[in-house]
Amino acid sequence: MAKSMTKSDIVNHLADKLGTTKKMANDFLDEFVALATAEAKNEFTIPGMGKLTTSKRQERKGRNPQTGAEITIAAKEVVKFKVSKTLQDAVFTK
């Protein structure tokens, strides 16, 4: 299994591919993440990759894995990412 890329690997790749400095690539990546974070509540679409959305989870029953005791897991809001069909097909079609 291949090792996943670190932030440093991503910054180096972007800097090399775009012919820019690592600082500019790092600033771009940081700003992109900040924008996605700020806009996720309104749906944030990354063309060709997918969509960030929020969803509400209902309260539900669960089990403590150490004791086996039944517990109630509180309702909460979560961020979800739905992968686009284009990316799904590109990754798994060979």
The answer to whether 79 and 52 have CB atoms below 8 angstroms apart is: yes
What share of the chain in percent tops pLDDT 90? 91
Confidence of residue 16 (pLDDT cuts 50, 70, 90): very high
What CA–CA distance (Å, rounded) separates 94 from 85?
15
The per-residue pLDDT for range 30-68, each reduced to its tens digit, is: 999 999 999 999 999 999 999 999 999 999 999 999 999
Whole-number pLDDT of residue 93: 84
Tell me the domains of the chain and their CATH numbers. 1-39 (no CATH), 43-94 (4.10.520.10)
Q: pTM (2 decimals)?
A: 0.78
The answer to whether 15 and 25 have CB atoms below 8 angstroms apart is: yes
Residue owning tokens 């700003």:
31
